[in-house]
Chains A and B, each alone.
Chain A
Amino acid sequence: MTIEVLKPGLQTTVQDKGRYGLQQYGVIVSGAMDTISYQIGNLLLQQEDYASLEMTLLGPTLKFHCDTTIAITGGSMAPLLNGVPCPMWRAVMVKCGDVLKFSSAQKGVRSYLAVKGGIQVEHVLNSKSTYLKARIGGHHGRALKSGDRLPISEWSTTAPSTTIDVTNFKLFENDVTIRVLKGTEYESFTEKSLSLFEEATYTISKDADRMGYRLESDAILHLQQPTNMLSEAVTIGTVQVPPSGQPIILMADRQTTGGYPKIAQVASVDLSKLAQLPPYAKIRFKLISLDEAQQLWIKQQKHLNLLALLLN
């Protein structure tokens, strides 16, 4: 009872909510980049946050070796089930022998494939997430290759056929404004740099990966005076500024600590939207208050909880 990988796609990995509780040992969190799409995939299958596949830019071709139920969420890679367009954002039953083919990303950059019962790889340090650099978790600690067989369970029960409308989550926007909070070293930057940071249009560089997004613009950010910071905790969405003056946004596979000044912090509510942006996309930053960021995130989580209730 497996999913066979006929073609691996560009970078397909097993991810769950992430590896929490071990950052004090330097073990990074990993986990799904777009947590909203990832969570909705599991909600549609009426299950907890089980391990799913995260596909990036170009999706895989997969063959099912048993009956099961799946849900495809996140960015669209025009999925075809046995050559016929496969609906997204709803539970779909698949039969033994079915072939699910993804193309390149048409909207967003990351698709998620949730499977009833989850992808059954081993737990490593509290999580099934693949952590590529330390080669742990997921399927042998690496991205999928042709010929891999991922263990799953057989399920032949019918699934609810509700399609979820995710427009409320605003995951795929054309004009992308990312809301941020002041970072811990915000006050250490020059006034000019702080206004440039909010006025500039940044381009996400081609080196945008699960670890972080490098940003490019004409606006070079300067500190009032050079500092020699001690390393301390960073987190997802931390915007740090290395000596080049070009910011880097830390993402799911970030290191646990860093020593660069932190100019800003992406509000949690906008992290999934950010995770769906392709290389060369343009973004702008908008400063909001801590209280506003917290209320926006609480509202988003309550919306997800409501979805869970509706689907049960």
Chain B
Amino acid sequence: MTHTISFQPLGDSALFIRFGDEISPSIHENIQQFIQKFQVTQPEWLVEIVPAYTSICVHFDLLKVASCTYYGQSITEFLEQYIQEIHQNIGKSNSTDGRLIEVPVVYGGAFGPDLSYVAQYNGMTEEEVIRLHTSSECLVHMLGFSPGFAFMGGMNPTIGTPRKEIPRLAIPAGSVGIAGEQTGVYPVETPGGWQIIGRTPQPFFMPNQLPPTYLQAGDRIRFVAISEEEFSTWGAKS
């Protein structure tokens, strides 16, 4: 199904295209299809696009857009018209499923200091939390906040846990967390309020390659429990 879009300016040099207001795989699919079509057109005024759960933000070069408008047409009118035309063509191609990627995680202990809290909050054992976290396939909806931080949907909601009241000042790179019904991995050490249940040895931010991130929007993720020994030798074997 193709969702209707609406527009909203983000200041004078960016424009939101909104596809809806809830996290859903079909909105995600529309956004991905739109981006594919948009990237083919490569308008010279485009600076970059930033997709999120339900929106795409289009950053544009104001001076270049202004030179594309005709008499009496505002910059916003020009952009909206351009974008509507692309939108009308989505849904006419079959998009491919994203890659399926396994992310190895050591759960609990020093690597997952909040695992016991998550278990207690949901009235289950730590083993059940691990089983449920590794049993569902998650979808990367967007990357944002810090380099390579993947916002995922599709985690089993029964292990959902609210964020911490007071965020930690430093969360180690590779930490796997839960916030509400979302799960994600911290690619670089930053402050953060997610409940940390484990850690992956897989680097998620690789500044020396393009794209510089291990995961991309549209990837499907399965978490796999590994031991601390496997964690320490993980880099060596691959």
A-side residues, CB < 8 A to B, are 20-28, 124-125, 133-134, 136, 181, 184, 230-235, 237-238, 255-258, 262, 265-268, 290-291, 293-294, 297-298, 301-302
A24 engages B48 (CB within 8 Å): yes
Q: Which one, A25, A136, A266, A297, contacts B143 given CB within 8 A?
A: A25
Q: Which 10 A-B pairs have the closest CB atoms?
A: A257-B144, A233-B57, A265-B11, A232-B52, A293-B12, A233-B50, A26-B143, A25-B213, A27-B147, A230-B53
B62 engages A233 (CB within 8 Å): no
Looking at chain A's contact residues, the main secondary structure is mixed
Q: How far is the CA of A22 from the CA of B63 in the complex (A)?
A: 21
B207 at the A interface (CB under 8 A)? yes
B52 engages A294 (CB within 8 Å): no
Q: How far is the CA of A266 from the CA of B11 in the complex (A)?
A: 7
A24 engages B217 (CB within 8 Å): yes
Q: How far is the CA of A182 from the CA of B63 in the complex (A)?
A: 21
B12 engages A294 (CB within 8 Å): yes
Q: How far is the CA of A183 from the CA of B218 in the complex (A)?
A: 29
The smallest beta-carbon distance between A160 and chain B, in angstroms, is: 25
Contact pattern, B 1-33, Cβ under 8 Å of A = 1, otherwise 0: 000000011111110100001010000000000
Q: Closest B residue to A126 by CB, please name it.
A: B210
B16 engages A26 (CB within 8 Å): no
Q: A124-B207, A233-B52, A235-B59 are in contact. Are A20 and B47 (CB under 8 A)?
A: yes
B14 engages A235 (CB within 8 Å): yes
Q: Closest B residue to A305 by CB, please name it.
A: B63
Residues of B within 8 Å of A181, CB to CB, are: 9, 11-12
B49 at the A interface (CB under 8 A)? yes
Q: How far is the CA of A234 from the CA of B142 in the complex (A)?
A: 14
Q: A21-B48, A290-B76 are in contact. Are A256 and B66 (CB under 8 A)?
A: no
A232 engages B63 (CB within 8 Å): no
B147 engages A25 (CB within 8 Å): yes
Residues of B within 8 Å of A23, CB to CB, are: 48, 50, 59, 144
B223 at the A interface (CB under 8 A)? no
A238 engages B10 (CB within 8 Å): yes
B145 at the A interface (CB under 8 A)? yes
A256 engages B50 (CB within 8 Å): yes
A134 engages B11 (CB within 8 Å): no
Residues of B within 8 Å of A230, CB to CB, are: 21, 23, 52-54
Q: How far is the CA of A106 from the CA of B55 in the complex (A)?
A: 44
Residues of B within 8 Å of A255, CB to CB, are: 144-146
B53 engages A231 (CB within 8 Å): yes
The smallest beta-carbon distance between B43 and chain A, in angstroms, is: 14
Residues of B within 8 Å of A27, CB to CB, are: 147, 212
Residues of B within 8 Å of A136, CB to CB, are: 207
Q: How far is the CA of A137 from the CA of B7 in the complex (A)?
A: 35
The smallest beta-carbon distance between A300 and chain B, in angstroms, is: 10
Q: Closest B residue to A24 by CB, please name it.
A: B50
Q: Closest A residue to B150 by CB, please name it.
A: A26
Residues of A within 8 Å of B104, CB to CB, are: none
The smallest beta-carbon distance between B13 and chain A, in angstroms, is: 6
Residues of B within 8 Å of A22, CB to CB, are: 48, 147, 211-212
Q: A232-B57, A235-B59, A290-B76 are in contact. Are A24 and B49 (CB under 8 A)?
A: yes
Q: How far is the CA of A238 from the CA of B57 in the complex (A)?
A: 13
B190 at the A interface (CB under 8 A)? yes
B74 at the A interface (CB under 8 A)? yes
A298 engages B16 (CB within 8 Å): no
B142 engages A257 (CB within 8 Å): yes
B198 at the A interface (CB under 8 A)? no
Residues of A within 8 Å of B210, CB to CB, are: 125
The smallest beta-carbon distance between B110 and chain A, in angstroms, is: 24
Residues of A within 8 Å of B147, CB to CB, are: 22, 25-28, 134
Q: Which one, B12, B144, B190, B211, contacts A267 given CB within 8 A?
A: B12
B205 engages A297 (CB within 8 Å): no
B66 engages A290 (CB within 8 Å): no
Known: A257-B50, A265-B12. 15 other contacts (CB 8 A): A24-B48, A25-B147, A26-B145, A26-B147, A26-B213, A124-B208, A133-B188, A184-B8, A232-B53, A233-B10, A257-B144, A268-B62, A293-B11, A297-B62, A298-B63
B10 engages A24 (CB within 8 Å): no
Q: A265-B10, A293-B12 are in contact. Are A26 and B149 (CB under 8 A)?
A: yes
Q: Closest A residue to B11 by CB, please name it.
A: A265
Most buried by B among A27, A181, A235, A265: A27
Residues of B within 8 Å of A25, CB to CB, are: 143, 147-148, 211-213, 216
